Amino acid sequence: MLKTVRDFIKLMSGQKRELYASLVLSFFDGWLIVVPLLAAFHITARMPEFNPDVAEALTMPVMIRYSLIMLASIFARIVLRYLVSCLRSGASQGCTDYPLG
């Protein structure tokens, strides 16, 4: 398996920068999956119906703030996915220009 990865990186010698950039962006995209879940948790935790011991009840500005955080993280994931696909498609296009063998 590692030999295959090493051979693939060797084959991608001209596009290593794009490959590594796509891996870093993909890493951040993976971490952004958690943000809407955490925002939903914080919204639910501040609802007195679900948490009777809540110190500070959920207000409309707080709800709007968490909703905007969710939307921003989803938008950031869309942009990151687009950038990753552009980088990887450009790298694979450059990879196919080299003769095999």
Q: What is the pLDDT of residues 38-66, one digit of tens each?
A: 999 989 888 888 888 888 888 899 999 99
DSSP 1: -
Would you say residue 67 has pLDDT above 90?
A: yes
- Residue 92 and residue 57: Cα distance in Å, rounded? 52
DSSP state of 47: -
Contact indicator for 44, 50 with CB cutoff of 8 Å: yes
What was the pLDDT predicted at 85? 87
Q: What is the pLDDT of residue 75?
A: 95
Rounded distance between C-alpha atoms, residue 20 and residue 16, angstroms: 6
